[in-house]
């Protein structure tokens, strides 16, 4: 999930800002197919509500939480961090594609490009030692050296009327937004800004504007050393990479090659750096994979598609790219079902269009599963927003616990199998109810 705007991304915490620092409006992305494979021949169904081919997947035609847990282990432990554009993401996309193909779906791994990657590395050199950084969105690239000076949280009291001309400002995280810190030290004449994280790990924030000099963050573990350099007035060097066009992958599974998707079920497979992302979002991606298998177990359903998205943590770029593809083909689905942060909690939170949300809540009640209408915290988001932005109805199932996301503590040890089961069962039953209703309303595909 992508916590929104000023906090989002690497390691820390809460959705400080939702299961990724995300802007509510998805950014444009270009896409091209790089791999397509039809795993089984299909025959047109007699009606829109019938399966289009015979049983293709192993196991019961119900949601299986143990299979889901195995997928979470494969993604979060065997593969590990799945940052967009890395080998980890490629391995994850291939793994997910293989699972979809095993169920009999026609599978495409779709490559797309995007600007504004939040995970640009970098470094700060102080006293002969190099410390890793993340470069904030909006920061330019470059190499800057100067005496370090500590400015508190970069408010008026911390700067204290001093000229920072030619100096590298060192600021604690907190109180002010990252963009406000940048503006304050810029106005005082600084040539770079290093923000010290106040928790373990690093995050990559968003300045919300194009900066004139490098702005980076160091981890909470490295913060004392940089604070000491500032207290001593030592000269330090800040290195920030230049922005570049990045690439990532989506995985799309259809009933047959070129089939129309009336309902698409999805969740992102990427992570922020330095975490295996068990809850955010191996849990959601694994639920998508298991739902695809469960629906295929008694025959693939016409109009029901599944997808996992890349670059969600960087700004919902993967789901935006798929929406753009559907728009180009004049094949937007009627409903998008999103699963993000689905592994820790005691209740099923249901977000989305009121009519569909109520139907999902009714389904949960009929199953005896505790569920509630919910909404994401301010300045947070997930891939359903890309579809919502173009008028597609959405449902979003999540578990409500964001305490470890974007941190190394987001491990499979904390995943609760009972919560996977609750969310999976409600999602399965809701989709099973809604798919024929949508098919009847739309008529023949």
> Using CA of residue 35, residue 387, residue 81, residue 241, what is the dihedral sign?
positive
N residues, the chain: 445
What pLDDT is recorded for position 118? 75
Number of neighbours of residue 370 by Cβ within 10 angstroms: 13
Outline where DSSP puts E strands in 151-256: 168-172, 192-196, 215-218, 235-240, 246-254
Q: pLDDT digit string (tens) for 135-178? A: 998 899 999 999 999 999 999 999 999 999 999 999 999 999 99
Q: pLDDT digit string (tens) for 195-218? A: 999 988 887 788 888 999 999 999
Residue 414 has what DSSP assignment?
Answer: G
Q: Whose CA is closest to 130, among 192, 219, 256?
A: 219
Tokens found for residue 282? 């191996």
Residue 412 has what DSSP assignment?
Answer: G
Tokens found for residue 93? 């996309």
Q: pLDDT digit string (tens) for 390-414? A: 999 999 999 988 888 888 899 999 9
Residue 314 vs residue 261, higher pLDDT: 261
DSSP of 236-255 = EEEEEPPP--EEEEEEEEES
Separation between Cα atoms, residue 335 and residue 339, nearest integer Å = 13
Residue 301 has what DSSP assignment?
Answer: B
> What domains are defined for the chain?
2-117+245-442 (3.40.630.10), 120-240 (3.50.30.30)
Element containing residue 415 per DSSP (H, E) = none
Contact (CB, 8 A) for 380 and 25: no
Q: Whose CA is closest to 80, among 96, 69, 70, 91?
A: 91
Q: Whose CA is closest to 307, among 383, 376, 380, 246?
A: 383
Q: Peptide bond preceding 214: is omega within 30 degrees of 0, i.e. cis? A: no
Q: Give the burial class of 385: count Cβ atoms within 10 A of its Cβ; 0-12 exposed, 13-18 middle, 19 or more buried.
A: buried
What pLDDT is recorded for position 7? 37
What pLDDT is recorded for position 47? 35
Average pLDDT over residues 379-385: 84
What pLDDT is recorded for position 12? 36
């Amino acid at each position: 999930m992508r916590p929104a705007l000023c906090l989002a991304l690497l390691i820390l915490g809460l959705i400080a800002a939702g299961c990724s620092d995300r802007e509510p409006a998805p950014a444009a992305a270009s896409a091209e197919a790089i791999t397509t494979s039809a795993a089984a021949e299909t025959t047109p169904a007699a009606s829109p509500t019938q399966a289009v081919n015979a049983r293709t997947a192993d196991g019961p035609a119900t949601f299986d939480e143990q299979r889901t847990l195995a997928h979470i282990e494969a993604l979060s432990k065997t593969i590990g961090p799945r940052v967009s554009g890395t080998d980890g993401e490629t391995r994850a996309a291939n793994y997910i594609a293989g699972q979809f193909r095993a169920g009999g779906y026609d599978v495409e791994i779709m490559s797309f490009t995007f600007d504004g990657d939040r995970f640009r590395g970098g470094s700060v050199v102080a006293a002969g030692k190099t410390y890793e950084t993340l470069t904030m969105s909006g920061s330019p690239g470059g190499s800057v050296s100067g005496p370090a000076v500590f400015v508190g949280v970069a408010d008026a009291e911390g700067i204290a009327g001093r000229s920072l001309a030619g100096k590298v400002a060192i600021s604690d995280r907190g109180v002010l937004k990252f963009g406000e810190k940048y503006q304050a030290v810029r106005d005082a004449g600084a040539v770079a800004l290093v923000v010290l994280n106040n928790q373990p790990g690093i995050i990559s924030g968003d300045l919300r504007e194009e900066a004139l000099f490098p702005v980076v963050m160091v981890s909470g573990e490295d913060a004392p050393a940089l604070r000491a350099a500032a207290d001593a007035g030592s000269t330090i060097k800040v290195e920030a990479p230049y922005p570049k066009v990045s690439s990532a992958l989506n995985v799309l599974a259809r009933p047959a090659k070129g089939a129309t998707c009336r309902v698409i079920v999805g969740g992102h497979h990427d992570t922020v750096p330095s975490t295996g992302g068990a809850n955010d979002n191996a849990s959601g991606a694994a639920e998508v994979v298991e739902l695809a298998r469960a629906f295929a177990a008694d025959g693939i359903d016409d109009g029901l598609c599944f997808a996992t998205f890349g670059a969600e943590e960087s700004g919902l770029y993967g789901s935006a790219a798929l929406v753009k593809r559907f728009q180009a083909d004049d094949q937007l689905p009627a409903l998008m079902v999103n699963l993000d942060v689905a592994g820790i909690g005691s209740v099923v939170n249901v977000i989305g269009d009121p009519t569909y949300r109520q139907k999902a809540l009714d389904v949960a009640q009929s199953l005896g599963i505790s569920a509630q209408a919910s909404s994401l915290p301010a300045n947070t988001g997930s891939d359903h927003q890309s579809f919502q932005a173009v008028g597609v109805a959405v449902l979003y199932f999540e578990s409500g616990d964001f305490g470890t996301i974007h941190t190394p503590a987001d491990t499979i040890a904390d995943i609760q199998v009972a919560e996977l089961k609750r969310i999976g069962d409600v999602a399965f039953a809701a989709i099973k109810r809604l798919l024929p209703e949508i098919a009847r309303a739309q008529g023949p595909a």
